[in-house]
Amino acid sequence: MQAPKNGNIRWFMLSLVFLATTINYLDRQVMGLLKPILEKEFDWNEKDYSYIVMAFTTSYAIGYLAMGRFIDRVGTKIGYAVSLIVWSLASIGHGFVKSTLGFIIARSTLGISEAGNFPAAIKSVAEWFPKKERALATGIFNSGATVGAILAPLLVPFILGHYGWRETFVWIGALGLVWILLWWKFYQIPEKTKKLSPGELQYIKSDQEGKTEEQSKVPLSELLKYKITWSFAIGKILTDPIWYFFMFWLPAYFADVFKMDLTKPSIPLIIIYSGTTIGSIGGGYLSSLLIKKGWAIGRARSFTMLLFALMVVPVMFSKYVDNMWLITIIIAFATAAHQGWGANLMTTVGDKLPNNYVSSVIGFGGMLGSAAGIIFPLFIGIVLDTFKKAGNINGGYNIIFFIAGISYVAAWGIIWLINRKKTA
């Protein structure tokens, strides 16, 4: 069925999800950009910082499962709103803490509540888009993560330079409270949206099965029967920790290795995170295009994910590159590939399962991915501290980049093995 020419409400709803995801990543990026200032303020070493990152990832893991189940029970509108209100207040709260313990508490609260973003976002896409458009829609909203990452290096130095690090947390955290007003006024599921044309509703439902929104509780044991639950979880376990490294340590990497001044707009970071926007939308567009050309849905997703997995491999060879702009391009390709990979990985859940299972499965896989990310920051902290003491911190970063280079191909191979038989 062709898309209706006069029906665009689904894209407006997607824009709200895009804005929420932008705010989500803008909030979490502030800490990484302020790391050098906070290290001096609170006398942190790399291991201290890794404990704070671990607090975030641990709570994020717990929050993924809890928020996914919560959103499936109360619905997308209420679940998303609760998640964003809490994480905005937690982000603001960073500006009032006076100790390392205070940061651990603030990051933990942020992690639990921010974990609701992707389960709610994927559920919204499943409600508002037919399968052939879902990867593109996911890529678009997922690009909000990179837009947030681009805005952070621009906004944080400006606010920091004029007001200070405490005010930086407060002003950026307050953006989410503005979003709540838009979300609550405009968002509904398709069946309850008065301005939705019959033609667009029919198009949305054209390849969907069952009801759009079912708030009945689905037992976790039921979710674990499906191969897609486990393949999604494996993909998250092997690649989420790498993304956390790209998010939380890249500013410090450029400051440590290339002496970049983080109190000024960071051009390499802007280039890197701009590339991820292209990767996210391009990844969703590519698999959607292949489906429209007649490829089977699973084959289109798998091919696209393999392509992006291979794009990460060059970061393995970072130790042979000493030019800041060349390494910026290599990392930009890797982070763009992650977003294209993630857009397709998340979409596979909605491809295979009923809508009322989606947030719970996203939450379960996200929990395991974040659990893997709990140990990895500690490993990073130990490696970087060891190499820093030896006067070769770049060697520590090279080890992390090597691990990153092999993780995505390994993840794709395991996912292919799990799903090669056409069963649930």
Using one digit for the tens of pLDDT, what is the confidence trace for 160-218? 888 888 989 999 999 998 999 999 999 988 888 888 888 888 888 876 654 444 445 66
Residue 422, CB half-sphere, CA atoms under 13 Å: how many?
4
Write down the pTM of the prediction: 0.72
Q: Are residues 58 and 191 in the same domain?
A: yes
Domain boundary among 182, 206, 230: 206
Tokens matching residue 57: 């990832």
Going from the C-alpha of 318 to that of each of 247, 250, 334, 402, the distances in angstroms are: 18, 13, 12, 8
Supply the CATH number for residue 35's domain. Answer: 1.20.1250.20
Q: Quote the pLDDT of residue 157.
A: 85
Domain boundary among 155, 184, 206: 206
Going from the C-alpha of 3 to that of each of 8, 197, 344, the distances in angstroms are: 9, 12, 21
Residue 239 forms part of a structural domain = yes
Q: Are residues 187 and 227 in the same domain?
A: no
Q: Quote the pLDDT of residue 406.
A: 92
Q: Are residues 320 and 392 in the same domain?
A: yes
- Provide the number of structural domains found in the chain: 2
Percent of the chain's residues with pLDDT above 70: 94
Q: Quote the pLDDT of residue 212.
A: 44
Mean pLDDT of 395-412: 92
Among the listed residues 3, 237, 232, 235, the one whose alpha carbon sits nearest the alpha carbon of residue 136: 3
Whether the per-residue pLDDT at 341 is higher than 50: the answer is yes
Q: Are residues 258 and 301 in the same domain?
A: yes
Tokens matching residue 92: 């603001």
Mean pLDDT of 364-387: 82
What is the per-residue pLDDT across 234-261, written as a single tens digit (0 to 9) for each?
999 999 889 878 877 888 888 888 887 7
Tokens matching residue 132: 């052939």
Q: Quote the pLDDT of residue 164.
A: 87
Domain boundary among 206, 241, 259: 206
Q: Quote the pLDDT of residue 155.
A: 87
Residue 128 forms part of a structural domain = yes
User: What's the domain range around 385?
Assistant: 218-423
Cβ count near 411 (within 10 Å):
22
Q: How far apart are CA 361 and CA 72, in angstroms?
A: 10
Q: Are residues 303 and 184 in the same domain?
A: no
Q: Quote the pLDDT of residue 422.
A: 54
